[in-house]
Amino acid sequence: MILPRQFAQIPRFRLLYSDPSPIHPLQALTTSLTANNQAPRASIYAKREDHSSPLACAGNKYRKLEYLIPDILNPAPPTPNSAVNGGATAPGKVTTLVTEGAVQSNHTIQVASVAQRLGLECVVVLHKGTGGGLGAAVDKEAFLRVGNVQVANLLGAEVRVLEPSPPQGKKTNPVIDILDALGADSKVPYWIPSGASLHPLGGLGYARAAFEIAAQEERASQNDDLGGSGRYDYIFVACGSGSTVGGLIAGFNLLEKSLKSQTHPPRKVIGILNSPTMPCSYHEERVLRFARMAGGMIGLDPESDITMDDVCLDDRFTGAAYGVLDPESKQYLNMMAQKEGVILDPVYTAKVIRGLVHWVQNGDLQRDWAQRATAAQSEQANALFIHTGGQSALPAYADID
């Protein structure tokens, strides 16, 4: 895999295996979705980001953290926005990584694992009021103890579970208080916001993943393992905090810009939203902002090379709340386990597979492909599901059988 010079010069600390996370066909799912013989035939593949790193509970956050680590080891001077967007919050050598998330956050355990890898302390802040997972849990005591909470403790993180903010009264930011207290204790904390998305470097990992996917396409096409256009025409991925989707958009747009001739429709990144808390337009603006932030660093003109036309988010599969496994998504979690032998997670990837299936079964993909492909390309389209990990949260969902 060869990155453009400007991109390749950005410092990166490897957390992933030297080989790319594997891509394999989802044959049973493809067969079941193409039984009605709709054109184009959709072939479904999975990119296993849950197999991407030797560190604990591999998942999509390690790609992001690879680009944060050089700044953690040699932090830039603190800025007024450090306590919001991420970075060191005091001068000096970083001693402690601090991050936050919902009770069963995948991101927090990957940060805790990185802290252990770097020989740093870690404080994990878990918010009871984020999402509806805890409220919907059959066994709330177990939800607060097992799954990712247990993993964070095993990794040596200091886990702080915070109660929901009161609906009335003065609003405070408990994370700021924690950062200030660490500083008063002669610690130098480095703040990593939820999902690492607000961090200025948060989108770079998945911009790089776009180039990795393109290199895997080329190898697969040479071995006749990838028909149709010879590429993954649709990329289905969860959209939570937004920088995974934004990074992929930036990376694929840079790839398209580097092509001397365009013979295929551009790859389309489809983000499946997993929370109904905010309207889709809110997430679209965030993803556009993250894509432009990453794009500007890797060699794109943020305003002209990345537009809202590049952002495709689908909010039809969010369910009742973030972290709540609705009955429909549960069906797809069970189906993927029993038909493909692939274990999904209850917060993100089960909803992505539900969305992907809907796009194929209800003709959304076919209609989009008919508008964008030539007649010669219209017989087959390839869809790539990004498996972002998260299975370690499953023990907290006691009602899954």
Residue 233, classed as helix, strand or coil, is: coil
Q: Which residues pair with 158 in a beta bridge?
A: 123
70 vs 34: CA distance, rounded Å: 46
Residue 16's closest CA among 75, 47, 60? 60
Instruction: Give, in order, the Cα–Cα distances in Å from 188 to each of 95, 96, 120, 192.
Output: 5, 6, 10, 13
Cβ atoms of 313 and 345 closer than 8 Å: no
Q: What is residue 146's DSSP assignment?
A: S
Q: How far apart, in whole angstroms, are the C-alpha atoms of residue 315 and residue 274?
A: 7
DSSP string, 63-123: HHHHHHHHHHHSPPPP-TTHHHH-EESSSSS--EEEEEEETT-HHHHHHHHHHHHHT-EEE
Catalytic residue among 82, 105, 194, 392: 105
Would you call 392 a catalytic residue per the annotation? no
**Reduced 3-state DSSP string for 153-178:** HHCCCEEEEECCCCCCCCCCCHHHHH
CA dihedral 369, 370, 372, 376 (to 10 degrees): 100
Cα–Cα distances (Å) from 335 to 173, 215, 267, 332, in that order, read: 41, 30, 27, 5
| Tokens describing residue 207 | 């911009």
> Within 13 Å, how many C-alpha atoms sit on residue 144's CB side?
13
Q: Which active-site residues does the annotation give? A: 105
